[in-house]
Amino acid sequence: MNKRKRAENIFEAVIRYKEFQRLLEGTLPFLIYRTDTGVVLARNIYGFEAAKNKASEVRKKYGLKFEQVKFKQDRSTQQKSHSTSPARRMDYAPRYNPSKRGRFKGYYDAKGNFHDIS
């Protein structure tokens, strides 16, 4: 009985994930790019089928091979959910550390704790 319940939970999680992906597909635009040079050929295309059609159109327009044109969701337009922290002054150790190939770097937070960066 325990295995059955676990399988049902996994199945439900997969269904939720598929729904989430379908929602993202409608909200995130696609971009079309060349694989050999990485040049973006088109941006802000909404919907998978529309991106597929536009990729075929661009490929024919520029006379490119099928392998040279791909499309993916443009996540660069997504806003970051975390807030950026205020600018901190980096402190460097006076001595060189050979194991790190540099100097110790870090900063002090508002409470006075030191945080080692590298």
Quick one: pLDDT at residue 86?
Answer: 57
Which residues lie below 8 Å from residue 35, measured CB to CB, with a gap of 6+?
67, 68, 69, 70
Using an 8 Å Cβ cutoff, are 30 and 45 in contact?
yes
Which residues does the chain have with pLDDT short of 70? Answer: 1, 22-26, 77-90, 94, 100, 118
Quick one: pLDDT at residue 82?
Answer: 44
Using an 8 Å Cβ cutoff, are 70 and 33 in contact?
yes
- Domain positions in the chain: 9-76, 88-118
- Residue 110: Cβ-neighbour burial (10 angstroms; 0-12, 13-18, 19+): exposed
Which residues lie below 8 Å from residue 89, measured CB to CB, with a gap of 6+?
107
Classify residue 90 by its DSSP letter: -
As beta bridge partners, residue 108 has 114
Quick one: pLDDT at residue 81?
Answer: 46
Using an 8 Å Cβ cutoff, are 80 and 86 in contact?
no
Quick one: pLDDT at residue 99?
Answer: 76
**pTM exceeds 0.75:** no
